[in-house]
Every structure is written in structure tokens, then in C-alpha cells.
Structure 1
Amino acid sequence: MDRPVADIAIDEDLVARLIEAQHPDLAGPLTLVGNGWDNTLYRLGDDLCVRLPRRRVAAELILNEQRWLPVLAGRLHIPVPVPVRVGVPTDWYPWPWSITRWRAGRPASDLPPHERGGLVADLARFMADLHVPAPGDAPHNPVRGVPLSSRTRAVYERLASGAIPHAERLRTLWDRLVTVPGWAGPPLWLHGDPHPANLLVEHGRLAAVIDFGDLTAGDPATDLAAAWLVFDAEDRRAFRARLDERSGSTYDADTWDRARGWALNMGTAVLLHEAEHPRMAGVGRHTIDQVLRET
């Protein structure tokens, strides 16, 4: 699967025009950071970042970030991309957009998994702080925080594609994990996409958690998939122990089993985009290896 085609072409001239029209006091040099699945990012000067949807379906996700990140940031000890300015649709650009602080650091996906141990304590604290009951008007996400079994069709299709190694072993494991009892607690706030490319590292520690486009509420097992997405076996044990220390009985054995299932779901998903996103394909291979290592 290739990255979806943009619904609108975003270039430096368009971004500069938006800033000049709506936030002229912030006008400055722009540097393209990248075109993701849903958004285009430009660095603005030294200290700011412009995040613009490249597809219509991502526009609501930007609104979710603008609405909820200022609320959540106050309870988090790790920096997150709270908008410092918001942009509104115009005649030449039809969706909301944001300006956030530029966060220094490199993605954890650039580090070999065995060098990510310095993230254990920080990421555990981030998740323990985030995973609290969400209000009734929290964003809904049809593919995150939902019952694990709802992803079965998508997982089966990936495993049948011929692109996923160890497909039969993974299907056997999936068929067992989807029988684990579901989340019985209240919907908790979730990041929704806790892979290592969304974790920024500086001096070996977690410097920021970015990309809250999948922000939602539901089963925390979705976020706990990071134990397999980010870490190796030793650091995964340490991560789980840290979370258990901070959260008490929030995460029981069934939650961790579902988290392994979520890791399998996410790992197989990113492997389908190897040509387009080789870094993420590496995350997928690591994740599949990790979920199969455990008994």
C-alpha cells in the first residue's frame, strides 16, 4: 500500500501565504520537514512547526489536537505539541491547521531497540499520567481503543498478502489473543499511535511525544502496545514494572495480552508500507519479532 495521494498540494508558498494572512507576526523562513500519511510539516524559523492536513479526512484530527492537547498537557510531564496558534480555512486552503513549538530531538526509531532503555521510565510516566477516564465528548477513533476483535478482518487481510513474515504463526497467535476478555473499565485517554517514530529522544531520554492525530479514549491496551513496538524483552519487562508501580491495578494480565495483540496489529500494518516508509517497516519487523518471542 502506498501513502494516500494528497487531496491538496501543499508547498512553501501556500504555507507562507497562510502565515502572512493569519499570523504575520510569526512569518519567517520555512523548511519542509516531511509529508506524512495525513499531514505536511514545515519548520518555521528556529522555534516553531507548522502542521497542515494534506487530506480532508485528517482535518478533524487537527481539530481534536487543537481542542484537547491544551487540556491534556497540564497533567503530562513530557512535552506534547500543544498549538501555540491555530489556523482557519481560507479560499485557497480549506481546512484548519496549527503552529506548535518545534521540539528538539531525534525519533526513537533512529535508535537500535537495545539503545532505547533510557525511555522506559519516561514513557511509563507519560502513559500513567495520560491514562485517566476521558469525558464523554472525547474523540472517537474507529481503529484505536476499540475491541481488539474489531481488527481481525484487517489483520487477516495483511497476513494473506504474502508481505508479512511468519504469517501462520501470527494468525495462530492473533486467534488466541482476540479471545482475551475485553476492557471492562471506563474509556481512558489514549495517544493512539505509540510507535517509536512518535517519540523524540534527546540525551538518551524522552524529550517529547508527538503526533496525536489518533487521540481517542478506550482500552489502554492500544497504547501499551508500545512495550513491543519500542522495546526489546528486557526493557519491556522494565516498562511493564514501572507502569505497574505507577498505576497499581489499572493494567491486569488481560490488558497486557490485548496489548500484545495491538502490537501485532500495528506491526503488520506498518510492514505493508516498506517501500514508502523504510523506517516504519523496521519498526514492523522489530514488533513482529518481539510478539513472537514470548510464549
Structure 2
Amino acid sequence: MDSARREALVEHLVLREGFSHADIRWSYQPLLRGRGWDNEMWEVGQLDPGAARCGGARLVLRVPHREMGEQLLRGEVRALAQLDAHRPDLPLARPVVVGSGGMQRGGRRPYALLTWVEGDLVSAIVAAELREGGLRAGPRRESAAGPRRESAAGPRRESAAGPMRERPEAARLAIELARALADLHRPAPEDYPRSAVRGVALRERTDALQGEILALDASAPHLASVVREIWQQGLDAAPYSGDPLLLHGDPHPANLIRTDGPHPLGLIDWGDTTAGDPASDLGWLLLLDPSGSALSAYARARGGRDADGEARARAWAVRCATAMLVHEADPADTAHADLALCARAALEAFASPW
């Protein structure tokens, strides 16, 4: 994005109540801060320190680069506004929508001006611990299917699961996420955005998973076997029958920020937010902490264990991990390699629980 394109977007930008164009200090040249599956994030300026809201915050333009991203961004802007209204006390740092454009369908492409959540990507933190642990992991093991081959996650020595005591920060952050999700998971407003692929019954995702398992069979058959087993256990568990709960939808480690602010965790990218079965969110806990300790922390915060819900969460975990391993990332998505490493480690841990 060059400054001319930024100016064209700014021209149609509608600011939310409490923000003023006079408080925005635009940078000379937009800076690409990240590119995910659906959107690009361009740093474009900063709010004046004396602004009435979010004074001093850096600002990013969130711009879709594929059609699916347009739908997700519209849902994200709506959801963040509802969170501000209904859950202002949520113990998570999250982006604030400063303004948006193109939100009406059938018009120009949507985009949003958001505050930047300061901190460190949890995916990078966990991947660093995994790589360090991999140096002490010992020789690779052979499976009944023969020697293990490499997957999209990279060399086997980097993907060893290792005991959680070798990943203290991952374990700590998983507990923080568990507590935050326990607070987030309340009955959702009736008009809250709904996703067709998050928070739904497991059987609705079986067909998608089957193709991914076949791809995993070619690179890591011992892990494909674990995925099949855990997915079936999730299908055999009682389905979710409670109220549709408010979910983030995609709380993977690259959407988590370790912050120095009043909340230890930030959660970004609310494009997949939805209402439904909380197990969909809880599966991501297991990528941080495959031992299940974080799931136990969530259960304590919610008032008791739900064995069926935990079985569904493990099924969601293997489904998400498999997707991370078998789908190629956009070359500009620098976080994907770390996510694939987290995914491989979680599946290895499920295959060889400590």
C-alpha cells in the first residue's frame, strides 16, 4: 500500500463516536505489519496522546486481500462494537475500531482502522521454547509404518513436544487464555455474528477433516492415526446442547499477544467470532498446553469439569492442528511456520502423552 491508496481509503473513512480526524497523526508511508489468510495490516499513524479515546495508540488499516476476508472483516467490526457495548470489562486487550469504510454489501471493499495491540506474538514465544526443547528431545522414534518423514512443520528435531516443564511460558500463557475464555464464554446476543465453520457440531466438519487426514497420511502416518482416533472420540461424546456462547472463533497462538498492559493477554483477529459450542475455542488451548492443565483451569473457572466438552475440545484441537500442517501458507504470512510447529508438537504430545 502506498500513501495514495491510503489517502483514497481515508477519504471514505467513517469514524466511530469518540474519535476525531483532528486526533489522528498519519504517517508518511504505510508499513505492512502482517498478512494472514484473509487480511493485511498496515500501520498508518497514531492517535494523539491527548485524544479522548485510546490516546497515543498506534493505528492500523485492516484490508482484505481475498473475498472471504471481506465477510470476516464486516463480522469483526460488528463484533468488536458489540463487545465494547456488552463486555467492556472483558479481561483481554483487544483492538478498538476507530473507523471503517465499505461496510455495506454490494459497494466498495470493506476496511477498518483499528488500534494496534502492543506486545509479543505468543506463537513466536511458544515456537522458541519448542525449538529450545527440541535440542534436548533425544533421537527420533520409528513407528510401525516405518521412519517418520518431515511435515510442513519442518525438521523433526524442531517439532518434538517435550514436557511442559520445558515450556514454562507456554504453560503460563495457556492458563491466562483459559481464564480469559472462561470469562468470554457467556450467552451471546441474538444478533451476534455466526460462523458456518466455528462453534458448530463436529459432524459438520468431518468431511473437511477427512481430506486433510489423507494429506497428513503421506507425511506423518503416526499422527494421522492419532487424529482419526481423537476425532472419533469427539464424535462419540455428547453434542453441545447449551445456549450458544460468545466465542472468539480463532484464538490460535498467532492471534494472541503477550502484553505489558493491565491485561496479560491480548486477542486479535475477531473475524471468525461466532456463537456456539465453547469446545471450538478450547481446542486452541491444547496447542499451547497439550497436557490438559489449561483445560482444567478453564473447568475450575466455569465451576466444574465437562468430560464430553473436553473430548470435543481435543477433537477441535486435532482438526485445527491438522489444518495448520497440511495447508500451505501465504509466503508473506511469517507466523505460519511457528503455528505449524505448535501444531506438530501438540499432535506429537497426543501420540505420546507424558
DSSP 3-state at the match of 1:45: strand
Q: CA deviation at 1:103?
A: 1.2
Taking structure 1 as reference, are residues 176 and 242 closer, same or farther at Cα in structure 2, changes over 3 Å only? closer
**Structure 1: distance between partners of 2:66 and 2:209:** 25
Q: CA deviation at 1:158?
A: 0.9
**Structure 2: distance between partners of 1:110 and 1:15:** 30
Please show how residues 118-267 of structure 1 align to structure 2 within 5 Å. 118-161=172-215, 162-166=218-222, 167-202=224-259, 206-233=264-291, 236-237=292-293, 239-249=294-304, 252-267=306-321
**Structure 1: distance between partners of 2:259 and 2:221:** 33
DSSP 3-state at the match of 1:178: helix
Q: Single out whichever of 10-19 and 66-75 deviates more from structure 2.
A: 10-19
Q: CA deviation at 1:17?
A: 2.4
Q: Are 2:230 and 2:314, in contact at CA under 8 Å, matched by a contact in 1?
A: no
What TM-score comes out, normalization by structure 2 length?
0.72
2:33 alignment counterpart: 33
Please show how residues 51-90 of structure 1 align to structure 2 within 5 Å. 51-73=62-84, 74-88=88-102
DSSP 3-state at the match of 2:229: helix
Q: What are structure 1's unaligned runs of at least 5 residues?
A: 1-9
Taking structure 1 as reference, are residues 294 and 179 closer, same or farther at Cα in structure 2, changes over 3 Å only? farther
Letter in 1 for 2:243: P
1:95 alignment counterpart: 109
What TM-score comes out, normalization by structure 1 length?
0.85
Letter in 2 for 1:228: L
| Root-mean-square deviation over aligned CA pairs | 2.5
1:289 aligned onto 2:348: yes
Q: Single out whichever of 118-127 and 184-193 deviates more from structure 2.
A: 118-127
Larger radius of gyration: 2
Taking structure 1 as reference, are residues 21 and 264 closer, same or farther at Cα in structure 2, changes over 3 Å only? same
Taking structure 1 as reference, are residues 203 and 21 closer, same or farther at Cα in structure 2, changes over 3 Å only? closer
1:45 alignment counterpart: 45
DSSP 3-state at the match of 1:77: coil
Letter in 1 for 2:70: A
Taking structure 1 as reference, are residues 12 and 148 closer, same or farther at Cα in structure 2, changes over 3 Å only? farther
Q: What are structure 2's unaligned runs of at least 5 residues?
A: 15-20, 47-57, 131-166, 331-335
**Structure 1: distance between partners of 2:2 and 2:213:** 37
Taking structure 1 as reference, are residues 136 and 275 closer, same or farther at Cα in structure 2, changes over 3 Å only? closer
Q: CA deviation at 1:170?
A: 2.2
DSSP 3-state at the match of 2:108: coil
DSSP 3-state at the match of 1:31: strand
Identity %, equivalent residues: 36
Q: CA deviation at 1:274?
A: 4.9
Q: Are 1:273 and 1:281, in contact at CA under 8 Å, matched by a contact in 2?
A: no
Taking structure 1 as reference, are residues 202 and 75 closer, same or farther at Cα in structure 2, changes over 3 Å only? closer
Letter in 1 for 2:188: A
Q: Are 1:194 and 1:225, in contact at CA under 8 Å, matched by a contact in 2?
A: no
Taking structure 1 as reference, are residues 207 and 21 closer, same or farther at Cα in structure 2, changes over 3 Å only? same
Q: CA deviation at 1:222?
A: 0.5
